[in-house]
Amino acid sequence: MGLTPASRVVSRSAGFTLIELLVVIGILALLSGVLYASLSQGNQAAERFADQANLRWHYQVFTDYHTSHGHKLPPGTGHRFVLEPWVSRSVQRTPENFERYWTPGLPSPRREALELLDMEKVWDDRSALDSDDTQYAGPSAELKQQRLFGNETLPLMANDNEHGPAFLDHTINVLMGGGQVRTLVLDPNLIREGFDPSVAGATFPVGAGSPHEVLSRLEK
């Protein structure tokens, strides 16, 4: 039995509506992808800004320590240097200050475990500290032999990138001895050194052996 003209019109109309629906779905998917990318970039920018604020807070902590300890910087190198103001109780042991020892937005199993403890007991034993106790690198022994505090050309701290990049675009925040925060970005010279940012989870090294002159003077 053949279709009537009216039936044929209904059939064509239904088919056209389905195509329209598919087009709309495709457009929505495209817009969602663009929106997600924009939000991700916005989140990264916010986390990088919060990280810079962390480093400036540490500079004030070092300044106070320097003033109250006979114009000396915290003893130790790497993570021990970074954590010494907390260990020596030069800063209040509060959850807010605890957060300052971690890169914003970067997960850490050690951090999650420490958060379950009473803040008064966190990092109370110098001998038990290791580099997983903070996501920041401090100065090396060689660097500490120089006039470090107040020197705008030498680094005090930086994201350590120990278990993955601090930020997806591989930028690294560095606190300089003069209190400024520099944001290092990848350049062709660093990529020629063998670092491939396209590899999933690629981590630009911080510490001895780093191809970046500033970062090579720090340790985890």
pLDDT digits (tens, 9 = 90+) for 185-211: 877 666 666 677 677 667 888 999 888
Q: Which two tokens stand for residue 195?
A: 């670092």
* Average pLDDT value for the chain: 85
Provide the pLDDT for residue 10: 46
Q: What sign does the dihedral 110-116-121-122 (CA atoms) show?
A: positive
- For residues 166 and 160, what is the distance between their CA atoms, to the nearest angstrom? 8
Provide the pLDDT for residue 182: 94
pLDDT digits (tens, 9 = 90+) for 21-31: 777 777 777 76
Q: What sign does the dihedral 146-133-131-199 (CA atoms) show?
A: negative
Percent of residues in the chain assigned helix, strand, coil, to nearest 5: 50, 10, 45
The structure tokens 């020892």 sit at: 101
Q: Do the Cβ atoms of 141 and 168 come closer than 8 Å?
A: no
pLDDT digits (tens, 9 = 90+) for 44-95: 788 999 999 999 999 999 999 999 999 999 999 999 999 999 999 999 999 9
Q: Do the Cβ atoms of 93 and 101 come closer than 8 Å?
A: no
Given a cut of 90, whether residue 12 has pLDDT beyond it is: no
Mean pLDDT value of segment 129-135: 96
Best CA proximity match to 120, nearest among 87, 96, 153: 87
Given a cut of 50, whether residue 9 has pLDDT beyond it is: no
Report CA-CA distances (Å) from 85 to 64, 90, 164: 10, 5, 26
* Strand-strand pairing, 172-176 and 136-139: unpaired
Provide the pLDDT for residue 17: 80
